[in-house]
Amino acid sequence: MTLRDRPPVVSVARAFYQRATEEVARDLLGKLLVVRSEDGSVTVRVTEVEAYLGPSDAACHTRGGLRTARNRTMWGPAGHAYVYLVYGLHHCLNVVTVGEGRGEAVLLRGARVEEGLELVRRRRGGSVPKRRLCDGPGKLCQALGVTRALDGADLCTADAQLAFLDDGVAAPALEVATLPRVGVDYAGEAASWQLRFLWRRPDSAPRVTGGTDPRSPEGRR
DNA sequence: GCGTAGATCGTCT
DNA sequence: GACGATCTACGCT
């Protein structure tokens, strides 16, 4: 792809988030997520997400209409970050969907680092293999420097610290696996709902940065 | 590569 | 007081 062919990079507008949560989840695969901080900026490409469908979803923090101090953001307007702590030590990043009063969101579970690799390595530890840097919700937050300080952050303002960008890359339907969500066995029937979306071959996407790719052809997997 | 155990503390009942 | 939208290290195959 030449510079001329490359589609423009645009930030994702609020209307994108104001849709059915499953659609937002599916469409977030392939989007770029940029997080800016004092340490620098990191850009990743989303490869794995989960949808949480509000009061009727027994695996969701807003199940049964539950309103607490923690999930307050989740009940708010779409296009904001919902960040919480699990197991007392790991952060999880979500994007609020649909609209105010719905309690629905998409959890970011996995991504591939596109820019800011040095900073990610500093945060995650130098010995971690590149493909393992962001392959879990807690690891992703650590790599991006996301903490509860970003809970409630608006993703759609011009100066957003946290934002999704669209550079024209999308996960082809054939490469997207639909699976049950992870770690929600307590949720009864909802535990088997196919609301986890995994882009199985993100490496096949055209590279956006970095010029020539020195890697040898894709070998083992 | 797979399975298991322990860490660790905020949140909710 | 119990539990959790997880991670890492470790042992085994």
- A119-165 tens-digit pLDDT: 999 999 878 889 999 999 999 999 999 999 999 999 999 999 999 99
- Mean pLDDT for A159-174 is 96
- Give pLDDT, residue A217: 38
- Confidence at residue A213, expressed as pLDDT on a 0 to 100 scale: 40
Distance between CA A196 and CA A106 in Å, rounded? 10
**pLDDT, mean over chain A:** 90
Q: How many CA atoms lie within 13 A of A11 on its CB side?
A: 15
CA A87 to C1' B10 (Å) is 8
For residue A84, pLDDT beyond 80:
yes
CA pair distance A157, A113, nearest whole angstrom: 23
Q: Stated in angstroms, how far is A202 CA from C13 C1'?
A: 30
Which of the nucleotides lies closest to A109 (Cα–C1')? C5
pLDDT band at residue A6 using 50, 70 and 90 as cut-offs: confident
pLDDT of res. A39: 92
Q: Of A137, A131, A139, A221, which is closest to residue A182 (Cα–Cα)?
A: A137
A75 CB neighbours strand C below 7 A:
no
User: What pLDDT is recorded for position A220?
Assistant: 36
The reply to whether the CB atom of residue A61 sits less than 7 A from any atom in nucleic acid chain C is: yes
Q: How far is the CA of A87 from the C1' of B7 (A)?
A: 9
CB of A93 under 7 A from strand C?
no
Nucleotides of C under 7 A from a protein CB: 3-8
Beta-carbon contacts of residue A84 (< 8 Å; ≥ 6 apart):
A61, A70, A71, A91, A92, A94, A148, A151
| CB A112, CB A45: distance < 8 Å | yes
- Among the ranges given (A3-7, A18-22, A71-75, A165-169), the one the predictor scored with the smallest mean pLDDT: A3-7
Mean pLDDT of A88-95: 95
- Percent of chain A exceeding pLDDT 90 equals 81
Q: How far is the CA of A89 from the C1' of B8 (A)?
A: 7
Mean pLDDT (whole number) for A184-207 = 85
Determine the 3-state secondary structure of A123 from DSSP. helix
pLDDT of residue A4: 66
- Within 7 Å: CB of A138 and strand C? yes
Contacts of A24 (CB under 8 A, 6+ apart): A16, A17, A51, A95, A97, A106
Residues A19-68 pLDDT 10s: 999 999 999 999 999 999 999 999 999 999 999 999 999 999 999 999 99
pLDDT for position A62: 97
Q: Which nucleotide is nearest to A82 (CA to C1')?
A: C5
| Strand C closer than 7 A to residue A92 Cβ | yes
For the CA of A196 and the C1' of C9, the distance in angstroms is 27
Are A193 and A180 in contact by the 8 Å Cβ rule? The answer is yes
**Spatial separation of the C-alpha atoms in residues A14 and A97, rounded to whole Å:** 9
Q: In chain A, pLDDT over 70 holds for what percent of residues?
A: 90
**Phi, psi angle pair for A166, to nearest 5°:** -115, 115
Q: Is the pLDDT of residue A206 over 70?
A: no
> Considering the entire predicted model, what is its pTM?
0.90
Give the closest residue to B1 (Cα–C1′).
A221
Q: Which nucleotide comes closest to A127 if you measure CA to C1'?
A: C8
Contact in structure between A205 and A30 (CB atoms under 8 Å): yes
Of A186 and A93, the structure prediction assigns the larger pLDDT to: A93
The CA distance from A128 to A51, in Å, is 28
Average pLDDT of span A100-124:
96
DSSP SS3 for A43: strand
Which 8-state DSSP code applies to residue A30?
T
